[in-house]
Amino acid sequence: MLQAMTVFGLLGLGGCALLGGGGDEAPVAVGDAPRPAFADPELMDQSRGAGAGDPSAYTIDADQVLTVDDQGRCEPLVLTTGERLSLLLPGNPSTGYLWQLDDRPEGLRLLSAPRADEASDSDAVGAPLVYDWRFEAMRAGQGSLRLIYHRPWEEQAEPAGLFICPIEIRAN
| pLDDT digit string (tens) for the chain, length 172 residues | 434 333 322 222 234 444 444 444 333 333 344 434 455 555 554 434 444 566 666 667 788 888 775 444 567 899 999 999 999 999 987 899 999 999 999 999 999 888 888 777 777 777 788 899 999 999 999 999 999 999 999 989 999 998 999 999 999 8
Q: What CATH number does the domain containing 55 carry?
A: 2.60.40.2020
Can you give the length of the chain in residues?
Answer: 172
Q: Yes or no: say if 18 and 162 are a contact pair by the CB < 8 Å rule.
A: yes
Instruction: Tell me how far CA of residue 116 lies from CA of 74, 78, 84, 113, in angstroms.
Output: 22, 25, 18, 10
Q: Yes or no: say if 97 and 160 are a contact pair by the CB < 8 Å rule.
A: yes
Q: What pTM was computed for the model?
A: 0.67
- Considering its fold, how many domains does the chain have in total? 1
Query: Residue 76 sits in which domain range?
Result: 3-170
Angle at CA of residue 10, ends 136 and 32, nearest 5°: 45
